[in-house]
Amino acid sequence: MKLESASAAAEFLDRSCKAGEVIDALPDDQRPATREEGYQIQQQLEAFSSQPVFGWKIAATSAAGQAHIGIDGPIAGRVFAETVYQDGDAIPFGANRMAVAEAEFAFKMGRDLEPRAYPYELAEVLEAVSDLHLAIETPDSRFEDFVTAGGPQLIADNACAYNFILGPKAPEVWRELDLAAHETVGRVTGLQDAPGKGSNVLGDPRIALVWLVNELSSLGITLQAGQIVTTGTTTMPMPIKPGDTVTGDFGILGQVNCSFLPE
């Protein structure tokens, strides 16, 4: 894909997002045909952010997440600093049509992991992690029908990134736990608890982190020290609306909370 086409597609998506509007599809001459072209467009979204990339997200790391957006495997997206909130914040709901919240494990990197010709393994990736945080993500899409938009367009759409809530740092005991077996609970005002566990995230959130590292490496991108990687929902996506309060309960690792301002 030519740079001018990727830039035009990114501008179209950014404008739609800021206006709270949705589109049927990208124009024919801007529509990505492959994952690589989708990532080309996504990279151009950085031009519309005034701050360095805060971190990365992985979408569709669970069967529920894949079904939710109509793809059969994970995709990566950028977390921009303008979309990041802190534990306990009251957040504008905005024009979020997807209207779900997700309780997630998020890893903070302690050193750079640069692109290379062979895959990173779990042990060396975990050695590069400084901390584990608890997190909530509220995804959304610029596409009217995100279930049929397809993987390349959803990658261009920044893997459905919208808002991200960075929760507290988990106690260091997390390194001794089996995160795949670790149970979580999502809570939304007025709804039944949504049970989950780490194995819903590509079998283990640590495996999801390694996937992200290698996905970036294949694209020639360095995962930088200080960046956060949020690894995907441990529960079914939880419906939300203005005025709701959301909690991600990670047992002995703690809780993360946010609320949404009423309309």
Place of tokens 């808002």: 163
DSSP string over 189-221: TTS--EEEEGGGTTTSHHHHHHHHHHHHHHTT-
C-beta of residue 195 within 8 angstroms of C-beta of residue 112:
no
C-alpha span between 144 and 146 (Å, rounded): 6
Close Cβ partners of 182 (under 8 Å, ≥ 6 residues apart): 197, 198, 250, 251, 253
- Is the model's pLDDT at 240 over the cut of 90? yes
Q: What confidence tens digit (pLDDT) does each residue in 134-166 have?
A: 999 999 999 999 888 989 999 999 999 999 999
Under the banding of pLDDT at 50, 70 and 90, the label for residue 77 is very high
Grouping H, G, I as helix, E, B as strand and the rest as coil, residue 41 is: helix
Q: Whose CA is closest to 210, among 183, 196, 229?
A: 229
CA 87 to chain centre: 17
Residue 88 confidence (pLDDT): 98
The confidence score (pLDDT) of residue 69 equals 80
Burial class (CB in 10 A: 0-12, 13-18, 19+), 69: buried
Model pTM score? 0.95
User: How many C-beta atoms lie closer than 10 Å to residue 79's C-beta?
Assistant: 25
User: Side by side, which strands form the sheet with 90-91?
Assistant: 90-91, 255-260, 245-249, 183-188, 194-197
Cα separations in angstroms, 70 against 5, 15, 151, 154, 231: 25, 24, 8, 10, 18
**What SS3 string covers 107-156?**
EEECCCECCCCCCCCHHHHHHCEEEEEEEEEECCCCECCCCCCCHHHHHH
**Which residue reads 């990208």 in tokens?**
26
Whether the pLDDT of residue 62 is over 90: the answer is no
Q: Which two tokens stand for residue 140?
A: 């959304």
Distance between start and end Cα atoms, the chain: 41
Q: Residue 41's pLDDT is what? A: 98
pLDDT in tens, 78-130: 999 999 999 999 999 999 999 999 999 999 999 999 999 999 999 999 999 99
User: Residues of the chain with pLDDT > 90: what percent?
Assistant: 90
